[in-house]
Structure 1
Amino acid sequence: MHRRELLAGTAALGVAGVGAAVTVGGWNPLEDGAALAEFELESLEAPGSEAGTVVVPERGSVTVLELFATWCGVCERLMEPMGAVYDDLGERGYEGVSQGGDVQFLSVTNEPLGRTTTRADVASWWEAHDGRWTVASDADLELTGALDATAVPYTVVLDEANVVTWSETGYKSVEELREPIFAALGE
């Protein structure tokens, strides 16, 4: 009889924990410890970004990934805090990190380029909103699908092993963006 009560209590705690994760942190199914596969995306010629390809996430680096669209007003507003965090933690890496390592920043549009929106449109939008890190296209929506992203902006932080440690939709302040990055860096 006691064993049955113990099992029921344990199951209830598990359900409550999943419920709390969904409510509090924008839980993502990838957060169960499974690493996100690497994707090769087309990078676009724009300020801070070179035309070619980019691999995301970059194993060995904490990755900050933002899915956006040029028509999205909230995405436009998010560029300022993303830029501030990038200036602090991006390209150069964060030297205060005890584990070392860089932080990869990447913004990805999943708009179908070449139809109503062109690569030049994205580059112009990027420049107008002070983008200065790599911008890429998820033309086949494979990354978008793997992240189960259903809205933009959708921001994801992955640790050095490419495991999703945080994901949220919508606008975030500088502090709301820094906190999960520092957590992924082990700070």
Structure 2
Amino acid sequence: MRTVLLTLALALGGSRLAAADEPKPANKLPTLKVGDAPPPLKVSKWLTGKGVKAFEPGKVYVIEFWAVWCGPCVAMMPHLGDIQEQLGPKGVTIIGFTANASGNTQEHVVKFLEKRRDKLGYTIAFADDADTFNAYMTASGQVGIPCSFVIGKDGKIAYIGHPYCLSEVLPKVLAGTWDAVKGPAEMEAAEKLWDETYAAITIPGDAVAQLTQWEEFSAKWPGLAADSQMTAARIRLLVSAKRFADAQKLAESMMTKAAKRNDVGALSAVAEVLSAEAAAGQPKLVEVGVRAAEAALAIDGPTVAALIRATKAYAAAGNTAKAKEFGPKAVAAAEKAVAGDKDALGTLQVAAALAACGERAKAKAAAEKAVGMVDPKNAGIKQYVEQQAKKYGYESKAK
């Protein structure tokens, strides 16, 4: 699912990673498994929340490994905050654990948390070394983040896996109905079904039938069907099915929830969906998209992505003056952010900014330039860059 391989993330410089990859099994057999006692936490500094000196019997803990450059990790943060709010009174403590690494120093983490601290809602721990990371992640054979470890009331590890599944796992752990043997396999099957459902409802097709497919998944796994990616896909389908009032209601609800956690990802998703061509001619819808883009901009500041998003939203709303104001800013910011003549991902952002300004020919040229920057030996990155470049008119010359 939406997990970043550590080696790939580091190779890409982390924060620009857009492709998600499944964690792959380690070569060695894991020495830490479900049913084992959890290693102690070695924390250099508790950055938010109350520190946890020891795992108390009768309480449930979640240790979630993350990093500031990991997009999927950041996307999970509002979800973790919601779970802490809902289940904290029942004895659940969520700890986001991150360690000193390239692009993930204490300074980077503290700066990252500044915009989220008051709305994060759960505890963050930082370590100067990799001892705890190795004791959990390496020992259990996990190589992708985000990754969570649930410690049950009995003081044993009950679950190891994506924090996305915690909404289904934790209520059962609290109720004493979680099966540590069958449960992980059920979650693995649920993740697979999520992937299949999401893939099916995000390709061009019969929107009504696709909405039915989502409803079938939601009936089986309601907690998993309510995440921001699925919700954004639903809004897109409702727009395509011309159920504009329903789309607006769902988008407004998503924005309200996002504002509670400063969830830039969810706000961005709303803005993207409601700035798309399918929403054209629906002033109420595109107005919601503008508000979402503006809210994300207010939280994140004038980042390249935020400026591009605002430009697209204003253009969709027919606000030519605002689109012309933000478009050049987006292009200038994207060009300034390009890190050398091999920065294919940065150059793709230049293409995106130019496309938002309506400069299609220039966007295509930038996309072609981005493709040419990739080392042909790096097949995975090459494929990703080529796929993204197609959005701006790039056509592969491969036979």
TM over 0.5, yes or no?
A: yes
**Paired amino acid for 2:173:** A
SS in 2 for 1:106: strand
Give 1:77 shift: 0.5
Contact 1:40 1:54 in 2 (8 A): no
1:41 matched residue in structure 2: 43
Displacement, 1:135?
0.6
- C-alpha change, 1:34 and 1:61, in structure 2 (3 Å) is same
Secondary structure of the 1:87 match is: helix
Q: Which amino acid in structure 1 is aligned with residue 121 of structure 2?
A: R
Distance 2:56 2:45 in 1: 14
Please list, as runs of the form range in 1=range in 2, the aligned pairs for 1:70-149 lying within 5 A after superposition.
70-90=68-88, 93-94=89-90, 102-112=91-101, 116-129=103-116, 130-147=119-136, 148=138, 149=142
Q: Structure 1 residues 180 and 127 mapped into 2: Cα distance closer, same or farther (>3 Å)?
A: farther
Structure 1 residue 180, shift from structure 2 partner:
1.3
Kindly state the Cα deviation for residue 71 of structure 1 after the two structures are TM-superposed: 0.5
1:67 Cα deviation from its structure 2 partner: 0.4
RMSD: 2.8
Unaligned stretches of 5+ in structure 2? 1-29, 178-399
1:8 aligned residue: none
- For 2:152 and 2:172, the matched residues in 1 are separated by 9
Structure with bigger helix share is: 2
Letter in 2 for 1:135: I
Name the SS for the 2:149 alignment partner.
strand
TM-score, scaled to structure 1: 0.64
Q: In the aligned structure 2, how far is the partner of 1:146 from the partner of 1:117? A: 19
% identical aligned pairs: 23
* Residues matched between the structures, number: 143
The secondary structure found in structure 2 opposite 1:136 is strand
Equivalents in 1 of 2:92, 2:122: separation in Å?
A: 11
2:391 alignment counterpart? none
- 2:58 maps to which residue? 60
Alpha-carbon offset, residue 126 of structure 1:
2.5
**2:43 alignment partner, SS class:** strand
Determine the C-alpha separation between the residues in 1 that align with 2:123 and 2:32: 24
One-letter amino acid of the counterpart of residue 106, structure 2: R
Structure 1: unaligned runs, 5 residues or longer: 1-27, 95-101
SS in 2 for 1:39: coil
Structure 2 length-normalised TM: 0.32
Relative contact order: is structure 1 or structure 2 higher (C-alpha 8 Å, sep ≥ 6)? 1
Higher strand proportion (structure 1 or 2): 1
Shift of 1:83: 1.2
- Check the 8 A contact 1:70/1:76 in 2, yes or no: yes
Distance 2:135 2:108 in 1: 26
Structure 2 counterpart of 1:158: 151
The Cα shift of 1:39 comes to 2.2
Please say which structure displays the higher CA radius of gyration. 2
Displacement, 1:58?
A: 4.2
Q: How does 1:18-37 map to 2 (within 5 A)?
A: 30-37=32-39
Query: Following the alignment from structure 1 to structure 2, what is the Cα–Cα distance between the partners of residues 135 and 32?
Result: 23
